[in-house]
Amino acid sequence: MSKLNKNWKEFLEEQTRDMDLDSFRLNDTLAPAIWLDSAQLKPSIASRLLVIAREFLQEIDIGIVVVQDITITGSLANFNWSKYSDIDLHIIVKYSSIDKNTNLVKEMFMNKIANWNRAHDIRINGHEVEIYVQDSEEPHHSTGVFSVLANEWLAYPVKFEYKVDFSNVEMKATKLMDMIDVADKLKSNNKFVEAYQFSKKLKKKIRKFRKCGLETGGEYSPENLAFKVIRRNGYMQKLNDIKNHSYDNMMSIGGNTTAVSEKLVKSWRNFVQNESKGPADSNNDGKISPSELYYHFDVDGDGEVTPDEYEKHIRFHMENPDILNLEPEEVRYMRELLV
C-alpha cells in the first residue's frame, strides 16, 4: 500500500469515529421543518406519513392488520432533535391478534421493515422516515408521542434541563466502536467464520445494552446516547456490513473463499458428528426432545434460535448432504421447507 493510500485510509477511518456530542443538547423549540409554531404537525407532512404507512402495509402483504394508531415519536417529537434525527413513524398493532407467538410476529415485522428500508430512502425536509411496527402492549420510553391519525399529542414533550455525562457517553461509544473494529479486523484477515459469529453476538449485545439504558435511565441514558453515536457515525452500518460480507464469503465456493468454506464445513461436520455439541439426540435414547432439538439448532450457543439460524441450518445440510448421508429425495424435502 502506498503512503498516500495508507494516509487516506487512516483519514477515512478517523472520520468514521467522529462523535458529534453537541447534537444531543436541547433546542428551544420543536423542529420547525416538521412542526408548526402551534406545535401541530404540518398538514402536508401528516398526509404524506399516512400514505407511507398505508403503502408499507400494502407492500408487505400479510393480510388484514387492524391498525390502532400511527404515531411519531423519538427526538423529532421532542426538544432534543438534531440534523441526524429520523422521523420515527410507528404503526401500532396488537401482535397477539395476529398470532399467539408474539416473538414470531415481531421477527416477521422486523424482517419486513428491514426489506422496506433497504428498498426505500424517503426523506421529509431532510429527515429520513423510519417505520416501526409497534406492539400496542409494548412499553414505550419516549416522552413525546404524537398521533398522526388523531392529529393530537398523546404525550406532549416537556422541556427540562438534563445533565448528560458526555465523557461517559464517549467512553461507552468508544468501547462499542473498538469491538466493531475487532470484528472488522477478523473479516479483513479472511477469518470470516469468526467475524460472522462475533458480529452476530455483538449486535445482540448492543441491543441489550441499549434496552438496559432505556429501562434504567430513559432516552438520555449514556447507553442510549452511545448507541445513537455509533448509528450516526456509521459504525452500526459497518457492523451490519461485516456480518453480511462475512456470511457471503462463508457460503461462497471457489476463488479465495474455498478455504473458508472448507473450514465452515469442518466446523459443522464436527457439530453434527458429536465432536462439539453432538447430534440432536444428545442423550442417545432414540428420541429427540424439544429441548434437544432447540439446542441442536442453537449453533452460536446464545440460548436463542432465530428463523435465520433455522434457515441456514437447513440450507447447510442441503448443500452438504454427505454429512448426514441424505438421499436425493430427502434433500428435495428440505428444499420444500424453505419455499
Among the residue ranges 91-105, 126-140, 150-164, 303-317, the one predicted with the least confidence is: 303-317
Average pLDDT, the chain: 77
CA distances from 255 to 25, 243, 252, 259, 261 (A): 50, 20, 9, 9, 11
Task: Please determine, for residue 63, whether its predicted confidence score (pLDDT) is greater than 80.
Answer: no
The confidence score (pLDDT) of residue 278 equals: 46
pLDDT in tens, 162-200: 677 788 888 888 999 999 999 999 999 988 888 999 999
The confidence score (pLDDT) of residue 124 equals: 95
Rounded Cα distance, 236 and 61, in Å: 29
The confidence score (pLDDT) of residue 158 equals: 84
* % of residues, the chain, pLDDT over 70: 66
- Average pLDDT on 213-242 reads 85
Dmax over CA atoms of the chain, in Å, equals 71
- Model confidence at 327, pLDDT cuts 50, 70, 90, reads low
Please list the alpha-helical segments (H only) found in the chain: 3-16, 43-60, 102-119, 166-188, 192-217, 222-232, 235-251, 258-272, 290-297, 307-319, 328-337
Task: Please determine, for residue 5, whether its predicted confidence score (pLDDT) is greater than 50.
Answer: no
Domain range annotation of the chain: 21-155, 163-249, 262-337
* % of residues, the chain, pLDDT over 90: 25
Strand, helix or coil at 312? helix
- Model confidence at 284, pLDDT cuts 50, 70, 90, reads low
